[in-house]
Amino acid sequence: MSKFTWTIKDKTIYLIIEENINIEEIPPIILLSIKRIILSLGERKVKKFKELCIILNNSEAILGERYFKHILEYTLAIRNSEELICKSRINDDVKCIIRSIFSIPNGLIYIDPPSALNMLRKWSTRHVFFKKIFKFLRKCEYIKDQGYLLEYLRTKLAEGNDGLIKNVSEMDEIHELVDEYDVGPYIVMIIDRENEDEYEYKVMLKKPISSIVSQIDMHIEKVTYSWALNTNLHDMNLDAILNHVRNYVKTFLNSNYNFSSSFIEELATFFTFKILGLGNIAPLLLDDEVEEFYVDKPGLRVYLDHAKWGRCISNIRLDEKDIEAFLTHVRLESKQDLTYDKPSLKADIHTSMFHLRVSIDISPLVKDGMALDVRKFRLRPYTLTELIELGTISIEAAAFLLCALRHRRNIVIIGEPGSGKTTLLNALDLCAPKYWRKVYIEDTSESIPQLSYGRHQLRLKVPTYEEELWLRNRIKVNKSIEVIKLLHRSPDYVFLGELQTKEHSKAFFHALSAGIRGIATSHANTPEDIILRWTQHHDIKPSNIALLDLMVLMRRIRRRGSSRRKVVRICEIVCPQEHEINENDIILRDLFVHDGEKLVPVVNPLKCALMKRICEEEGYSLEDLLREYELFSNTLKCLALESKTDVNSLLRAFTRLYRQLDQGGILREAMRIEGGVNDVI
């Protein structure tokens, strides 16, 4: 520990550090100096000070009143904890843990407060003693401050004195920590920086992990390399390789080190990705909050779309070696190649740790080296109740779409890329009747596997658009052919991936004209735009477009620090029946429109032309459809009220609901009282 002295002037404490040290050593020095000042002057007097000025190598950094109070609060919590330790009778095992946390100056409580808090949280369930200490520390703001405090000190002290910060607001303008959370062996911090349009997504290895990695790195790589030479990895997919390497590393760590099980889990995750050449990209793959990330050129900082904070720039850089290692795994997994003649690759990667849709482009298509776009899908899918909770769709609109789905109406969900089209489609799919035979045609596997839930599901994988161009005139398998072949697969309902090309559109409407019922997604800004594209560019006749029942428009609303996906419009297609239909006869009638705050009905959706067609074609009365709509609506309300957003709860609720709907009609009495609705759930 370096020597330091302190002095007081007015309402400022000056801390003078007398030796050259690493910036990481300064926070423990600050805490120890405040402890000494409290012992010397007393707690009451120290609380009257407003600033703390750190002086090192003729450079100064001033912490304003807010941050000084945070440091003082944390220091007092440490003192309270130490007093409790002195008064308590503790056994040798507890002493060992206490030593690792509170030893001066290298205890976790000084050098890594978040890790100290996590350790105390873990042990608080086993020993009342740790529970009391945890209560002292858990609300201390300093634990959140330390990450950007280090960065501020590094800027002010390591790079010279650029001018003093006179108050807290000036420090806040430099950067502010707005969020922090764990991702396996990493800590992710979301930082708001002065004069930056994007939030920074900053990843750091947890302190206990980083302190031990260098000591065991060579041992693990050596034994793993030896193991890999004697293991047949050629026939394994990426998921199997990840699990094999991870299990081997865990076995090695358990045999040679006396670490806790949770620590070994995090170490094994870190080394697994490092061994496979994916160390730098690992945090992005593991973080469920990252929805998509991009590399425009090797060596540039990766930027990403965060579920909570929108577009962020990260501190991660992927060079050509990193991207090549990732590309190698993608090639092996997808059985696709990337060459000068085929410079684009689009593949689906599904493991127990992550689910990705990967797009990679190389020269001569791109001019600055390899480009990477990785869309991530949650391992646990969004349910309709979650989308309602997030404000993506209203209960009324969701209930209406479920009515249309139950009667096998033809629906197209449109929107810009990343607006949540497939997310909504999958959420509706989970609510479909269990007994349906559902057939899916996708170029990337974005649908939810449901065979384990006892659903009847046939999922067909067709070449991507990039593969289709390459395979044209070689292999006669594509989305258009498979859509037409649906006529011989007897589906109750069809789920299509994106309608991208003229051939896709023609095949889709050909299937609809032959009596196939289904739902699809497509890129478009408005329903009017996609109808124009179909009629004028894809040569689809207006009479075929009239086979559609509903269009759902989704939009991704991006603001600085936020990103929200919303259904902004639901409209029905109305066409005259008495004469041949032309383009001008196609009428889009809005049923729901987003008013800027929420999705609201424009007209009574149960009195729309679609519901009248259902009554005519299936022999229902409008009263029956009203009760059915109310049952869907009340079921969703009850699920939302009870916060049942998991797949199993939703499937159970809708299985029972459909049994009631299909057993001799709708239970009228159950619909008249809320208790009846609760019985459904």
DSSP character string of 141-198? THHHHHHHHHHHHIIIIIS-------SHHHHHHHEEEEEEEEETTEEEEEEEETT-SS
The whole-number average pLDDT for the span 314-329 is 91
* Within a domain: 196: no
Pairing of β 175-183 and β 59-63 = unpaired
Same domain, 439 and 340: no
Same domain, 522 and 544: yes
* Within a domain: 661: no
Q: Is the pLDDT of residue 165 over 50?
A: no
Q: Which residue has tokens 């807290």?
A: 168
Residues 592, 605 contacting (CB under 8 angstroms):
yes
The whole-number average pLDDT for the span 267-295 is 93
What CA–CA distance (Å, rounded) separates 470 from 405?
36
The whole-number average pLDDT for the span 651-675 is 65
Residue range(s) defining the domain that contains residue 429 = 384-606
What CA–CA distance (Å, rounded) separates 443 from 602?
36
Q: In angstroms, what CA-CA distances link 282 with 72, 122, 325? A: 37, 25, 12
Per mean pLDDT, which of 207-211, 452-456, 464-468 is the most reliable? 452-456
The whole-number average pLDDT for the span 166-172 is 36
Q: Is the pLDDT of residue 297 over 50?
A: yes
What CA–CA distance (Å, rounded) separates 228 from 244?
10
Band of residue 229 on the pLDDT scale cut at 50, 70, 90: low
Residues 200, 313 contacting (CB under 8 angstroms):
yes
Say how many domains are in the chain. 3
Burial environment of residue 398 by CB neighbours within 10 A (0 to 12, 13 to 18, 19 or more): buried
Q: Is the pLDDT of residue 672 over 80?
A: no
- The pLDDT score that the predictor gives to residue 360 is 92
| pLDDT, tens only, 280-293 | 999 999 999 999 99
Q: What are phi and psi of 362, to 5 degrees?
A: -130, 175
Q: Where are the alpha helices (DSSP H) in 344-493?
A: 384-390, 395-406, 421-430, 465-471, 479-485
Same domain, 349 and 475: no
- The pLDDT score that the predictor gives to residue 671 is 41
Q: Is the pLDDT of residue 108 over 80?
A: yes
Same domain, 9 and 110: yes
Amino acid at the residue 99: R
Band of residue 469 on the pLDDT scale cut at 50, 70, 90: low
What CA–CA distance (Å, rounded) separates 152 from 67?
12
- Lowest average pLDDT, out of 69-73, 149-153, 426-430, 448-452, goes to 149-153
Residues 541, 289 contacting (CB under 8 angstroms):
no
Contacts of 618 (CB under 8 A, 6+ apart): 407
What CA–CA distance (Å, rounded) separates 654 from 633?
12
What CA–CA distance (Å, rounded) separates 261 from 88?
28
- The pLDDT score that the predictor gives to residue 36 is 85
Q: Is the pLDDT of residue 677 over 60?
A: no
pTM for this structure?
0.66
* Within a domain: 672: no
Strand order in the sheet with 355-361: 175-183, 186-193, 199-205, 310-317, 301-306, 290-295, 371-377, 355-361, 344-350
* Within a domain: 675: no
* Within a domain: 305: yes
Q: Which of 606, 625, 659 is the last residue of a domain?
A: 606
- The pLDDT score that the predictor gives to residue 128 is 76
Same domain, 159 and 21: yes
- Lowest average pLDDT, out of 348-352, 358-362, 406-410, 572-576, goes to 572-576
The whole-number average pLDDT for the span 78-94 is 77
| pLDDT, tens only, 324-342 | 999 999 998 888 888 888 8
Amino acid at the residue 70: H
Task: Estimate the share of the chain in helix, then strand, then coil, as percent rounded to the nearest 5.
Answer: 45, 20, 30
Share of the chain above pLDDT 70, in %: 84
Task: Tell me, rounded to whole angstroms, the distance of Cα 103 from its chain centroid.
Answer: 38
- The pLDDT score that the predictor gives to residue 670 is 40
- The pLDDT score that the predictor gives to residue 171 is 39
Same domain, 468 and 358: no
Contacts of 287 (CB under 8 A, 6+ apart): 183, 188
Contacts of 620 (CB under 8 A, 6+ apart): 614
- Short-list 81, 77, 60, 58, CA closest to 13: 60
Contacts of 591 (CB under 8 A, 6+ apart): 400, 570, 571, 572, 601, 602, 603, 605, 608
Same domain, 330 and 457: no
| pLDDT, tens only, 508-551 | 888 888 888 999 999 999 999 999 999 888 988 888 888 999 99
* Within a domain: 615: no
Band of residue 3 on the pLDDT scale cut at 50, 70, 90: low
* H or E segment to which residue 262 belongs: helix 261-275
Peptide bond into 433 cis (omega under 30): no
- The pLDDT score that the predictor gives to residue 169 is 36
| pLDDT, tens only, 375-387 | 998 888 889 999 9
Would you call 233 helix, strand, or coil by DSSP? Answer: coil
- The pLDDT score that the predictor gives to residue 664 is 53
Pairing of β 456-461 and β 437-442 = parallel
Tokens of 553: 């428009």
- Average pLDDT in the chain: 82
Q: Is the pLDDT of residue 578 over 70?
A: no
- The pLDDT score that the predictor gives to residue 632 is 93
Same domain, 307 and 435: no
Same domain, 368 and 413: no
Q: Which residue has tokens 């801390």?
A: 15
Same domain, 346 and 397: no
Same domain, 422 and 490: yes
Band of residue 601 on the pLDDT scale cut at 50, 70, 90: very high
Indicate which CATH number applies to the domain containing 235. 3.30.450.380
- Short-list 212, 322, 224, 333, CA closest to 264: 212
**Can you state the angle between helices 647-662 and 421-430, rounded to 10 degrees?**
50
Q: Which residues pair with 349 in a beta bridge?
A: 356
- The pLDDT score that the predictor gives to residue 114 is 83
- Short-list 431, 408, 420, 404, CA closest to 572: 404
Rg (CA), the chain: 30
Half-sphere exposure of 661 (CA within 13 A, CB side): 24
Q: Which of 107, 136, 164 is the last residue of a domain?
A: 164
Number of C-beta neighbours around residue 452 at 10 A: 7
* H or E segment to which residue 286 belongs: helix 282-286
Indicate which CATH number applies to the domain containing 547. 3.40.50.300
Q: Is the pLDDT of residue 476 over 60?
A: no
Q: Which of 164, 197, 232 is the last residue of a domain?
A: 164
- The pLDDT score that the predictor gives to residue 589 is 92
What letters, b where the CB count within 10 A reaches 16 and e where it falls short, cover 61-84?
A: bbbbeebbbbbbebbbbbbebbee
Band of residue 304 on the pLDDT scale cut at 50, 70, 90: very high
Residues 81, 133 contacting (CB under 8 angstroms):
yes
* Within a domain: 178: no
- The pLDDT score that the predictor gives to residue 676 is 39
Same domain, 271 and 130: no
* Within a domain: 646: no
Residues 125, 158 contacting (CB under 8 angstroms):
no
